[in-house]
């Protein structure tokens, strides 16, 4: 699946470049908010201890207008996502505050939106499907409640690439685009088998979310030139 999505994105970007000479091309900047949490079967076991994480995304976009109401919109974004864990994740630790830990990941994400819409003068409402790949560059597991620092082990927990797909819609009004979509990550967030920390708290948290994936809502505004 990872190879298929990567192939789709590469083909879409190549197609947008090849069509750019005869198509309407707009360049822009984009930013917005992410509201993420864990998805996957593991969530049923620990969802009572999970809280959503608010992050952001920002970057550049290129919109290539195509016939029949279609458009391709490849982007390069820095995006931040994560999850919060309450003390209910490990009941035996007692009361250590409302938030037990925070896990956040900053990634370079390359989404390619495949849009279909109807142009009504300066207004264009659209639907979109958005395959993406992402490359984690900043990883943080905040265990300050335990006075622990696990930065030296974080690199071993995350793969070098993740992938997924988003579905949603939006509206273009003149040079401004507002959009919303839900991103489903298809790759695993962490791999407990790579965890070398001897601390039992770290191991227990990682093992509880083994197989989980980061998914969530993305709300964006873009300005095209």
Supply the CATH number for residue 50's domain.
2.40.160.20
| pLDDT at 10 (0 to 100) | 60
For the chain, give the mean pLDDT. 81
Dig out the tokens for 2 from the structure: 């990872």
Q: Is the pLDDT reported for residue 113 higher than 80?
A: yes
Percent of the chain with pLDDT over 90: 47
Q: Which domain holds residue 118?
A: 2-224
Cβ–Cβ under 8 Å, residues 183 and 1: no
What is the count of structural domains for the chain?
1
pLDDT tens digits for range 130-177: 999 999 998 887 776 666 665 555 666 677 788 999 999 999 999 999
**187 confidence band (pLDDT: 50, 70, 90):** confident
Cβ–Cβ under 8 Å, residues 105 and 120: no
Q: What is the pTM of this model?
A: 0.81
| pLDDT at 133 (0 to 100) | 95
Which residue's entry shows tokens 């993740």? 162
Cβ–Cβ under 8 Å, residues 212 and 49: no
Residues 8-18 have a mean pLDDT of 56
User: Rounded to an integer, what distance in angstroms lies between the CA atom of residue 99 and that of residue 51?
Assistant: 9
The answer for residues whose C-beta is within 8 angstroms of residue 67's C-beta and 6 or more apart is: none
């Amino acid at each position: 699946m990872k190879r298929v999505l990567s192939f789709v994105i590469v083909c879409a970007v190549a197609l947008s470049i090849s069509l750019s000479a005869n198509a309407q091309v707009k360049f822009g900047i984009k930013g917005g908010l992410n509201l993420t949490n864990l998805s996957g079967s593991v969530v049923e076991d620990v969802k009572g201890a999970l809280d959503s994480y608010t992050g952001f995304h920002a970057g550049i976009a290129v919109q290539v207008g195509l016939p029949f109401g279609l458009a391709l919109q490849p982007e390069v974004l820095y995006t931040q996502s994560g999850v919060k864990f309450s003390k209910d994740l490990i009941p035996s630790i007692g009361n250590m505050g409302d938030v037990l830990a925070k896990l956040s990941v900053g990634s370079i994400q390359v989404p390619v939106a495949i849009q279909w819409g109807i142009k009504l003068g300066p207004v264009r409402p659209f639907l979109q499907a958005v395959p993406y790949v992402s490359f984690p560059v900043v990883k943080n597991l905040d265990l300050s409640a335990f006075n622990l620092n696990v930065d030296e082990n974080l690199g071993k927990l995350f793969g070098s690439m993740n992938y997924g797909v988003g579905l949603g819609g939006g509206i273009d009004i003149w040079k401004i685009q507002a959009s919303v979509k839900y991103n489903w990550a298809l790759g695993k967030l962490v791999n407990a088998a790579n965890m070398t920390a001897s601390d039992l708290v770290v191991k227990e948290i990682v093992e509880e979310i083994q197989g989980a994936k980061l998914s969530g809502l993305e709300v964006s505004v873009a300005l095209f030139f």
